[in-house]
Amino acid sequence: MDNGQPAIELKHVSKSFGERKVLDDVSLQIEKGKAFCLLGRSGTGKSVTLKIMIGLIRPDRGRIVIQGNEIQSLDPAKLADVRKQIGFLFQKAALFDSISVAENVAFPLRRHTKKSEQEIQAIVHQKLKEVELENEGNKMPAELSGGMSKRAGLARALAFDPSILLIDEPTSGLDHITAGEIYELLLQLKKNRKVTMVVVTHDVGGARKFSDEFAVLDKGKIAGLGTAEELAQSQNSLVRDLAAGSQT
Amino acid sequence: MARKSLGSHVTGFFRTSGEVGIFGFRAARSTFRPPFEFKEIVRQIFEVGWRSGPLVIVSGFAFGVVLALETRASMVSFGAEAMIPQAVSFGLFEDMGPLLTALLVAGRVGAGIGAELAGMRVTEQIDALEALAVDSFKYLVVTRVIACVIAIPVLTLLLDFSGILGGMAADLFALHMSVRLFLNDAFGPMGWSDYVPPTLKTVVFGFIIGTISCYLGYNATQGAAGVGRASTRSVVLSSLMVILAEVILVKSIQFWFPG
């Protein structure tokens, strides 16, 4: 499986919604085990790019290759197999609100494994402990704060020990301290497992703690690509401004 | 301008009808393909059927009382009071019972399904299901449509029998008719074609309610406003389509099962 191919590859991907072109011939390569950060102003297609990566949105043109699998050509069963290797943390966590936090984490395990109830409970406890929510498992999602919801969503995304983690705005709407805790969690994930991460964020400062590479999306195209320092030297003022945002 | 607006409304109606039709066809086809979500189907039957039970029973009882009292006035003038039990049973089993049940379910369950799925759509829970490698259509839509199809005939029988009880209670008080005589008069003249086809037609009502409310919820957009719209439109469209289907089915049943 590991033959040097990138974990995620976007090749000439374009996507429009009506008249509005969100992505225009975007190509990206994200190496295994790297943390990649997508930056850009609001509405520039960052979340759309994440959803395209996991096949939730179909591009109008282009190819998406995840660990060697071109996902548009996969049948539903094989696409499901690819998705099992990907954890997705949604912007507002998207926890299933009719079941408890622990049941949310257990949900993919119950659906896709033949593990015993005891094993599932052990995994759920371990995942909740990783995100410091081991005492909140019986709560309903509506009872959680914003930061706790994000961490619970992360626990669910980690239930399968995915090799790829797609994270949409992990710290939006959170205070600096809670945001710092989330970044610390992501840093630990990167250090302790070799998870490939793609993170959409506006907070370059926080993202610097764990990101290896940054890309700036603007007007449907990649306006800048490189490390935070490289972006700060860019000729493009928007790219520089976004990188400068890291200093504040 | 008004003409264009009318034209766009007509186009929109046909487009939506086509989309609902394709959605329903997809749901029907998916029913017979694995994975079969048995646990979720049972849960949905509980939600649709069991939780609608009290509403259906109380409404049926009240309807039976009203039917008996209303028909009594006409029957008395013809000296045909003995026909009241038969009028109640035929009125319930053949005509109003299935339709009344479907409309009650469209109001309670249609709104619930529309709002629940729309809420899941706008909070990305449906995307989350897909991201967790779950076929959201099978898990959310097919299970609810099956639940409606199974639950509504049973609810119809519940409403019919509670209506008979209501009618009987009214007659016992008004005419002092014996229970045995009432039941004999109510069910004696009934043949299987008087209650089996009308009850089974509610399968179609269940499919309509499940499909329309799932379609509107599953494809909802625009946040909280979209949730409210999906909920309201689920009730309105489901009820309207059930009534239209009733017209067609009544004629069909009369044709295939005359007398």
Q: Do B132 and A83 touch (CB under 8 A)?
A: yes
Residue from B33, B40, B124 whose CB has the most chain A CBs within 10 Å, to mutate: B124
Taking 70 as the threshold, does the pLDDT of residue A247 lie above it?
A: no
What mean pLDDT is predicted for residues B64-80? 82
Smallest Cβ–Cβ distance between A83 and the set B124, B125, B133 belongs to B133
Q: Do B130 and A51 touch (CB under 8 A)?
A: no
Buried b (16+ CB within 10 A) or exposed e, B39-61: ebbeebbebbbeebeebbbebbb
CA-based nearest residue in chain B for residue A96: B125
Using DSSP, state whether A159 is helix, strand or coil.
coil
Question: For B111, phi and psi rounded to 5 degrees?
Answer: -65, -40
Length in residues, chain A: 248
**B window 104-123, beta carbon within 8 A of A:** 119, 123
Taking 90 as the threshold, does the pLDDT of residue A117 lie above it?
A: yes
Could you tell me if B194 and B90 are in contact, meaning their C-beta atoms sit under 8 angstroms apart?
A: yes
Angle at B20 between CA B16 and CA B25, to 5 degrees: 150
Taking 70 as the threshold, does the pLDDT of residue B32 lie above it?
A: yes
What residue spans of chain A are helical by DSSP H?
Answer: 46-53, 76-83, 101-112, 117-130, 146-157, 176-192, 204-207, 228-232, 237-244
Of residues B110, B102, B123, the one with CA closest to residue B201: B102
Q: What is the residue-averaged pLDDT of chain B?
A: 89
A169-201: pLDDT as tens digits: 888 877 888 788 888 888 888 888 889 999 998
Using DSSP, state whether A22 is helix, strand or coil.
strand
* Cα–Cα distance for residue pair A235/A231, rounded to 1 Å: 9
Whole-model pTM: value is 0.87
**For the ranges A28-32, B80-84, B142-146, the one whose mean pLDDT is highest:** B142-146
Q: Do A84 and B133 touch (CB under 8 A)?
A: yes
Q: Tell me, yes or no, if B135 comes closer than 8 A to chain A by beta carbon.
A: yes
Q: What confidence score (pLDDT) does residue B3 get?
A: 55
Question: For A15, phi and psi rounded to 5 degrees?
Answer: -150, 130
Q: Interface pTM (ipTM) of the complex?
A: 0.90
Which residues of chain B make contact with A76, given a CB cutoff of 8 A? 135
Q: What confidence score (pLDDT) does residue B95 get?
A: 79
Smallest Cβ–Cβ distance between B127 and the set A56, A84, A86 belongs to A56
Confidence of residue A241 (pLDDT cuts 50, 70, 90): confident
**For the ranges A196-205, B143-152, B192-201, the one whose mean pLDDT is highest:** B143-152
Smallest Cβ–Cβ distance between A108 and the set B125, B132, B135 belongs to B132
Q: What is the residue-averaged pLDDT of chain A?
A: 89
What mean pLDDT is predicted for residues A98-109? 95
Which residues of chain B make contact with A18, given a CB cutoff of 8 A? none
What mean pLDDT is predicted for residues A27-54? 91
